[in-house]
Amino acid sequence: MLHPALVWLRSRGVSTTVPPQALSAGMADEESWVLTHTTSCAMIPPEDGEAWRQMQVVRESLRDAGLYRWPPHCNLIYPMVPAKRFDDVLPFLQEACKKVPPFRVRLAECGVFGGARRGVLWLRPDVVGGDDSGESPLVALQRKLRTALSQPEKNFVPHLTLSHFESAEAALRAAETLEWTPVDFVVDEVHVMARQGDDGQFTLYHRLPLGGCSLPDSEILPRPFRGMPAMPFEWTDQARDLLRARRGRSSSGRPRRRRRRRSPEERARIAARTPEEIEVIRAERARRKGLLAATVEQAAQKTPPPPPPPPPPEHNDDDAEMA
């Protein structure tokens, strides 16, 4: 059962993540809990390790638009609360991390997201060892972190992005020629990071150890990630501009039409739908889609075939001589 304040926030169309304890303490003001794409809680390879080094080399060779802004990472919570709320959610994230012991992952296989207008090439983090019959420690970690922040469950595909492409087909072509040596690393902590605006570089704010372990050293945070570019490359800005342009256009090359934004009342009605009502709506959509497909098929069957083209005129020697 969601806290009434959280229900109220989401009914107004606000994407939020508020721990129940924070709500009970009266910290549920609307603006400071709105999710943002300038913060993240992520699994990040060791900054001085082989996985980090290889990923940065490959990302630069593939001209990844996010090379300057993002470190090598696998997002666990993204978007997340603003950085000014980190101190409020940190205890809940730490408690979730204590419930998952450290584990090892291997980066050996790649995958592709996308379609005709967008492609993403990524590495799959496979957990090494453990019980194959149970839940993956990485999936369990992501689930516990989202639960700690009262975020609803979502389909989680663990991945570390290598680069973005104009289509999934282009990403697949890049995968065929990818030079990658499988590498392992131990996941014994997760990282909370933030950036200034969409164009800023992510900075490390907090390191959260897994399994109740203590971190090997103390350091002053926040700090930049080691091994990140000091300045954007000229091509990173160009690659990002191309990425933005592709996302803003349809498959025909025309600007995409934006859907009308729903009013707060409409969003509230949608959020209040029961599972039974959702199933009825889905069934009605499927019925209409089937009727439309049948109508198109019947129209195609009734349409007479086009008449054959007229035969070419016979050659007339008399006309040719007159010309």
**pLDDT tens, position by position, 65-77:** 999 999 999 999 9
| Best mean pLDDT range from 87-96, 125-134, 301-310, 313-322 | 87-96
Please report which confidence band the pLDDT of residue 21 belongs to, taking 50, 70 and 90 as the band edges: low
pTM: 0.70
In the predicted structure, residue 81 carries a pLDDT above the cut 50: yes
In the predicted structure, residue 282 carries a pLDDT above the cut 50: yes
Q: What mean pLDDT do residues 54-72 have?
A: 96
pLDDT of residue 5: 45
In the predicted structure, residue 22 carries a pLDDT above the cut 60: no
pLDDT of residue 300: 66
Q: What is the mean pLDDT of the chain?
A: 82
Domains of the chain: 29-247 (3.90.1140.10)
pLDDT of residue 85: 93
Q: How far apart are the first and last CA of the chain?
A: 92
Contact 160, 107 (CB under 8 A): yes
pLDDT of residue 32: 64
- Percentage of the chain with pLDDT > 90? 52
Burial state string for 182-215 with b = 16 or more CB within 10 A and e = fewer than 16: ebebebbbbbbbbbeeeeebbbbbbebbbeeeee
Contact 120, 246 (CB under 8 A): no
H or E stretch including 222?
A: none
Closest by Cα among 77, 98, 95, 89 to 22: 89
pLDDT of residue 215: 75
H or E stretch including 165?
A: strand 160-165
HSE-up of residue 200 (Cα within 13 Å, Cβ side): 13
| Best mean pLDDT range from 169-183, 224-238, 269-283 | 169-183
